[in-house]
Structures are given as structure tokens and as C-alpha cells.
């Protein structure tokens, strides 16, 4: 992620500012639809499904690197970026 002033998500106390920071970062990378659920995994095209998987699996660590360790442990095995 790109914002130097971003703070890690610690819980409810900084969720709003963290959410906006992540939203801006994902918008600039054209990946916001993955976490908003607007871009589903294509079931009928294996090539596009592979590309979708690659993007999804790239976004998960981006998000994981912006949340506190206790919260990260709760979502570590989450398969889809929109669920993180």
C-alpha cells in the first residue's frame, strides 16, 4: 500500500480513517471492486479465473499489512479479499 501516514487498524477506534485509507489505496490500484464484492470470480473462463485469483491473492497481503497482529490472526486463513 502507498500511504505513508496510514496507521494500522487497531479496532473500532481508528476504523473509519483506516477504511478510508484502504479505500483510496485500492482505488488507485483499480482493485476496490474485489473487496466491495463487485467483481466475482469468473466461473466459465479458466484464464480469467486464474487472473482473478492472482489479483485476489495479491490484495489479501496488502490488507493484512495494514491491520494489527491480533486482528490479522483472526483473518489469516480467509480465502477472499472481500472477506478480510
Quote the pTM value.
0.82
Could you give the percent of the chain with pLDDT greater than 70? 93
CB neighbour list of residue 19: distance below 8 Å, 6 or more residues apart? none
Higher pLDDT, 16 or 6: 16
Three-state secondary structure call for residue 67: strand
Whether the pLDDT of residue 1 is over 50: the answer is: no
Which residues have C-beta within 8 Å of that of residue 28, sequence separation ≥ 6?
2
d(CA 46, CA 33): 20
Average pLDDT over residues 67-82: 91
- pLDDT of 7 reads 78
Amino acid at each position: 500500500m502507498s500511504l505513508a501516514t496510514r496507521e494500522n487498524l487497531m479496532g473500532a477506534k481508528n476504523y473509519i480513517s483506516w477504511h478510508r485509507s484502504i479505500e483510496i489505496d485500492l482505488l488507485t490500484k483499480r482493485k476496490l471492486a474485489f473487496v466491495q464484492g463487485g467483481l466475482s470470480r469468473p466461473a466459465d473462463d479458466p484464464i480469467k479465473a486464474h487472473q482473478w485469483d492472482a489479483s485476489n491473492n495479491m490484495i489479501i497481503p496488502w490488507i493484512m499489512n495494514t491491520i494489527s497482529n491480533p486482528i490479522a490472526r483472526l483473518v489469516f486463513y480467509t480465502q477472499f479479499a472481500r472477506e478480510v
